[in-house]
Structure 1
């Protein structure tokens, strides 16, 4: 096995005296793990940072063997890790991607969405500019792994208009008329999730509360539970930023 591919660094774990096992999100080969020699040296340390775009050459004698990796930097997002909110966002989405995806299965839509989300975090002057993209990425990840929400029509009436809430149990949308008797028991469904476009701070926080409920219930469980702290920390920082806006 040998191939060269664009990739996004999503995780790094020290291995041996100088090397590390690096996890990469790739467009055609999904999540890939590789041993990189000298990963903790001065030359590669700034390259192997979560969120960085790289070109990776992976090779192994058999598919069951851990690949050896050669990594070259394409675009660094290291400066973002000096800023609290972008750093918290990158920490979360990289950890989530590296933890919940099975290795070796291609998810081209997820790769493109992750690349777009990282670009939005880099380009936006404030978190309100990339919050909606984060919600969409989390919704897509849930869907790609078989836990997608059903937001096409009301779970009770079958109507496809005035959808304002989601059942925390079934993940199905509920219309305004049907949601009224269950006020306080349903999760708000912000308009941008269905209609697209931009979102204001209240809508972003509602969207993150929505995706967070299902991520922490269905995906971030058991051995992956420790990364939930990153999600909780990010949500609190975003809520604080919203209060200061």
Structure 2
């Protein structure tokens, strides 16, 4: 019986049978993996199998085709954050996105590190503006890792790299201010922090969420995965109300 022991981030959990659960975990070297947790709905394991938690996971399966049995040991709990509306919505969304978007068994080490960073920021930041920028960048990275990356380095119309302030929804490429004249209403705002790094004000963060949300909905969260966007809608709505 093959065994894999690895650190992991809990991304999704659903009930299976009377007492068990199927958990989907993001691992650093093996990507998204699913496993059956015996007693996963028990009082002892429910607090461990919360999206956003960091765990030590052991997967065992007789064949690659068989759903692995999974045991988990809690490394870091984010349960206290789930009683706070904004952090809870952020964790719910970013974990649901990861579980829905990634194919199983494909390594995405950069996404693992980035997701760990986002969850750590939600954990540590005293206010939402401290983690919202990281969340937008995670969405942008996920699009790129799945082959739907945005070209933000040059203007789609002129090829220049100066004064890039919009993104074309058709080409997913940046557009300069001059090239956008007359077409502004058809383009998506490109917030400066996605080009320059650093912190951002709320208007720019919300523009970033609008930008990544458009391409996630169009290219990644299609068909049956579209219901995952409800978690994102809750997050964006709570952010808008918090900064209104």
1:153 aligns with 2:157: no
Distance in 2 (alpha carbons) for counterparts of 1:236 and 1:170: 28
Counterpart of 1:129 in structure 2 is 130
1:56 aligns with 2:86: no
Any unmatched runs of 5+ in structure 2? Answer: none
Structure 1 segment 25-104 matched on structure 2, within 5 A? 25-104=26-105
Distance in 2 (alpha carbons) for counterparts of 1:60 and 1:29: 15
Q: Which runs of 4+ in 1 moved over 6 A?
A: none
Counterpart of 2:145 in structure 1 is 144
For residue 45 of structure 2, give the secondary structure of its aligned residue in structure 1.
Answer: coil
Cα deviation, residue 183, structure 1: 1.7
Cα deviation, residue 125, structure 1: 1.1
Distance in 2 (alpha carbons) for counterparts of 1:210 and 1:174: 13
For residue 209 of structure 1, give the secondary structure of its aligned residue in structure 2.
Answer: helix
Cα deviation, residue 66, structure 1: 0.3
Cα deviation, residue 130, structure 1: 0.8
- Count of residue pairs the alignment pairs up: 243
**C-alpha distance after superposition, 1:126-152 (max 9, x if no partner):** 111111101000000000001000001
Cα deviation, residue 228, structure 1: 1.1
Counterpart of 2:120 in structure 1 is 119
Any unmatched runs of 5+ in structure 1? Answer: none
CA RMSD in angstroms, aligned pairs only: 0.7
The TM-score with structure 2 as length reference comes to 0.98
**C-alpha distance after superposition, 1:117-174 (max 9, x if no partner):** 0000111111111111010000000000010000010000111111000001111000
Cα deviation, residue 112, structure 1: 0.2
**C-alpha distance after superposition, 1:162-214 (max 9, x if no partner):** 10000011110001111122121110000000111111101100000000000
